[in-house]
Structure formats: C-alpha cells, structure tokens
Amino acid sequence: MKDTKIAAISMISSPANPDVNIQRHVEWIEKAAKHNVDWCLFPEMSITGFCFNRNFFEASESFCGKSTQKMVEIAKQFNITIGFGIAERDIHDIIRNTYVFVSPEGICGRYAKTHIPPLEYTIETSGDEFTVINLKQARVGVNICFDNWFCESGRMSYLNGAEVIIAPFYMCWGDDIKTNPEKAYSSWRELAMINFRAVAWQNGVYHITINSCGGVKEKGVEYFGPPLVIIINPSGEIEAETQPGQVVEQMVIHTLKADTLVKRRSDALFHPRYRRPAIYRKITE
C-alpha cells in the first residue's frame, strides 16, 4: 500500500436515472480534484439510483457499458480513480448490485454484492466472490451495504489480499432523518462503531463507510438516509468522519497512511497470523 488521498462522498442519486447521476458525480469530482485526491469514492448504486419497479431493470446495464465508459473518460479528465455503484445486467438479463473502479488507464475491476436483503430480492441477485481489486495505491476489497453485517465479508476480503475495504451503503434509518437528524446519525454511527471498528482491527485494514444521503420515495418505499462517512484505520481508530446532524450531501477528504497499515500488521499479536482454519469448518456448513 502507498499513502492515498481520498474523497469519500455521501450523495443522493435520482432513482433509475444514470445520466443525471453521472452529472452529479462530475460535480463532486470537480470539487474533490481541487484537493489533489487519488480516489473519489461514492455510495452504493450511485450511478443507477435505487428503485423497486421496472425502471430499475431498464436503467441497468453491462458493467463495461455506457455509464462505465463515461466514468473512464471522467477519470482520465481529472486523473483520478473513481469507485461507484451500478445495477449490472449480464447477457442473461440477470442484475447484480455492483461496485466498479475506473482509473485514467481504464476499468480496474468490480465487485458484486454477495448478501441480498429481502427488500432487494425482486430486483437483483447475489455475487459469489469477495473480489479484491489491485489499484495503483492499494489492494481494495468491497463490502456493499448488507454485506457488512456478516463478519465473514471482512475476513474474506482480508484473506483475498485487501488492504482497504470500501463499504458503500444506501441505507435508511426510519423517519428519523426527517424529524431528528442528530438521532439518525447517532443511531447509524453506533452500529458502525460496533461492527466496523472490529472489522478494521481484526483484519488490519482501512475501513471506509459511505452512505447515500437524503430522501427518495418510490412505489411506496421511502428512503431517508443520513449523510455519513466514517474512515477507520487498521488499529480500529476513527481517523475522519462527517459531522452529526447533517441533512445535505457531504464530502470527507482524508489521507490513508501506509505506515499505519504496516504498523498494525507488524504487531507480534496481529491475530490473523494465528488463525486455525482446520477447526473453523462448521462456518461453511
């Protein structure tokens, strides 16, 4: 891993409207570029925009299709690596919730969400691999939204070589964001602290949570998400985060330090070094 300056952006996406959402990405990338960042990271489904009807299928596309190719052009224009979410439709018309990385050199790789919650059963199917993408600065794993509530997701990403885990979300917290944004943020943050500090520490990885922001109502499904970004280092310490009580889109600029990762993994008691896979077989049953 090399030192990596990132922009993590909590933004709202228009449902099933990739063209509009790409323009929103450009606006944020322009702002991030002024800080000379290496990566711009966006939430789950940031390009496609979630909805729960036929429009979602119509807005889905090949992971190397029109939207991804446009994002490659943008990456070249700003000389930045970009992570973003799309509804990927394969040649069999199967849709997956996919996170794609592009750089000025082209498409770097993708990860498909492996754990699907009930609300999404009707619109997408699961991926089957914890893909790790080799970016110029670091090896990156992705755990999308629901994936993050399974401890196996972080561990498998680490075992496959991840130094950084990106956790893009499109997660609501009831109606709290409308009436009490501080409470909504606090509730979300508490879950993140319980789970993601442990993931970062146990696996010696940077963990970057990026939630979508704002409100969407689509076919009776309401989404109100607090704008939340949390960056946790490999020792489980919070290095940067958004401020509580926000209701508009947010961007966090931060540098991930290679020395911090090396220090954690060089610890004589770095726990993954002492794993005993032979006695964990029950986990896979």
Terminus-to-terminus CA distance in the chain, angstroms?
A: 34
CA nearest neighbour of 229 among 175, 169, 174, 178: 169
Q: Give 178's strand partners.
A: none
Angstrom distance (rounded) from CA 257 to CA 262: 9
Per-residue pLDDT of the chain (285 residues; tens, 9 = 90+): 999 999 999 999 998 999 999 999 999 999 999 999 999 999 999 999 988 778 889 999 999 999 999 999 999 999 999 999 999 999 999 999 999 999 999 999 999 999 999 989 889 999 999 999 999 999 999 999 999 999 999 999 999 999 999 999 998 765 555 667 777 788 888 988 999 999 999 999 999 999 998 766 665 666 678 899 999 999 999 999 998 878 889 999 999 999 999 999 999 999 999 999 999 999 988
The residue with tokens 């994936």 is: 147
The whole-model pTM stands at: 0.95
Dist CA 82 CA 99 (whole Å): 10
Please name each of the domains of the chain with its CATH number. Answer: 4-284 (3.60.110.10)
pLDDT (0 to 100) of residue 284? 86
Query: With left for phi above 0 and alpha for psi between -120 and 50, is residue 160 left, alpha or beta?
Result: alpha
Contact present, 259 and 4 (Cβ < 8 Å): no
